Amino acid sequence: MTSQPFLPFALPDLGDDEIAEVVDTLKSGWITTGPKAKRFEQAFAEFLGDPQIECIAVNSATAGLHLALEAIGLGPGDEVITTTHTFTATAEVVRYLGADVKLVDIDPKTMNIDIAAIEAAITPKTKAILPVHYAGLAVDMLALLDIARRHGLRVVEDAAHALPTTLEKELIGTLGSDATVFSFYANKTMTTGEGGMLVTRNRELAKRARVMRLHGMSRDAFDRFTAKVPSWYYEIVAPGFKYNLTDIAAALGLHQLKRLPAFQVRREQIAERFNDAFADLPLILPPQAPEGDTHAWHLYVVRLADDATINRDEFIEGMFAAGIGCSVHYVPLHQHPYWRDRYGLTPEQFPQSQKAYERTISLPLYTAMSDADVERVIQAVRGLLA
C-alpha cells in the first residue's frame, strides 16, 4: 500500500462564496424552498439562454425524471425505451408510475443508447424514449427526435451527466425534447449536495410538475407566505410528492452555476492530459465530442483492450493499492436481480453493454484535483498497464 493520502474517486469543489451564501441563508430564517430556489431557477434559465424554457428545481434528478414522466401522462400499460447501461434511477421512475421499461443495448463507440435498437424496440405500447447522455457525451438527439416524431413518442432526456454538454453547438436542455433533467448530486459537474433541475418549454408540463413537486398544492409555501395579502388557504389538486429543493441547497447552486464555465475548462484539461498519457496503453479511451461541441466530462471512462494483461477487477485493486479510488459506470440494469427477473433479461441480449461492463473503469476526474493528483493517477495507470 502507498504511504500517500488516499485520492478519492470524486470530491465536490466548494469555495468561500458557496459557504457565505449558505450562512446567509441560515441567518435569513428561510431555509426551505423560497427566494434562493427561485433565483436559482431563474439563473439556470439564463444559463440555458432560451426565454421559452421553464426551470423547476427539485431535490434530485430522480425526482425530476419522475415528475416529467408523470406530467406526460405515463401510466400502466405504457412502455418507455431506455438504455441498460445506466444507473437504476433512469428506469425505476418508469416503474413508479406502473409502466414498464424496454431496455436496449449501447453503441460501443459512444457507450450511449444504440439509436437503431431504439427503433427496433418500438411497440404499440411505447409511450416515450428516455435517453441518457453517458459520461457527458451527447446522444445523437437529432436522430432520436426524428424517430420520436415519426412514431408519435414523447422524449425525456436524462441529462444527469450532461451539464454543459452541447450538440450541434446547442446546450443539452435546449433541444426539441419534452423535458430534460439535470443532476446536482455531490459528484456531478456542479453540485447542490442533493438536487436537480427539470427544464421544459412545455407550459402545461411545467405547471403540472410544479404542482406535483409539493404535495399537489395549488400554491407553494413561498407564494402563500410572501404575498402582499398573505393567504393561508390552498387546495390539493392531485396526490403529489415531496420533491422541492431547499434554499440551503439552492445557495450552493447559485455559485456553482457561476463557476461552471471554469469547472468545464478544468475538466477538459484533465481529460486531455489523460488522453495524451494513455494513448500508448492497451485501453479504449473515452469517445470525444464532435468538432465544435462540448463533452461535459462528468466521467472519464476507460475500457481495457483485448491485449491488456490484467482484468478490470485486478486493475481496480491495483489502483486501490496505490491509494486511488476508481469506480465502474455501470453495473448494467440487466445484471441486477430486479430488472433481470422482471423482464427475463440475459447478458446475451446486450452484448455491447456486457462487454463494456466487464472492461470498464472510471478514473478520478474532478476540478478539486491538483496537477500532482492528475500525475499520480497517470503514473498508477501506467504502472499497471505499460
One-letter amino acid for residue 213 of the chain: R
Give dist(CA 185, CA 367) in Å, integer.
15
The CA radius of gyration of the chain, in Å to the nearest whole number, is 21
Looking at the DSSP assignment, which residues form a beta bridge with residue 283?
304
Task: List, in order, residues 6 or more apart from 14 with CB less than 8 Å away.
Answer: 191, 252
Give dist(CA 347, CA 334) in Å, integer.
7
Maximum alpha-carbon separation in the chain:
72
Beta strand ranges found along the chain (DSSP E) = 54-58, 79-83, 100-104, 126-130, 154-158, 166-167, 170-171, 179-183, 196-200, 283-284, 300-304, 360-363
- Going by C-alpha positions, the residue among 330, 319, 345, 353 that lies closest to residue 113 is 353
Q: Judge whether 307 and 328 are in contact, CB under 8 Å.
A: no
Q: Give me the catalytic one of 109, 125, 188, 207.
A: 188
Give dist(CA 243, CA 290) in Å, integer.
36
Q: Judge whether 203 and 46 are in contact, CB under 8 Å.
A: no
> In the structure grid, which three cell numbers stand for residue 72, read together?
406526460
Q: Is 363 helix (H, G, I), strand (E, B) or coil?
A: strand
Give dist(CA 375, CA 39) in Å, integer.
39
Q: Does residue 188 have an active-site annotation?
A: yes
Give dist(CA 343, CA 313) in Å, integer.
28
Would you name the residues annotated as active-site residues?
A: 188
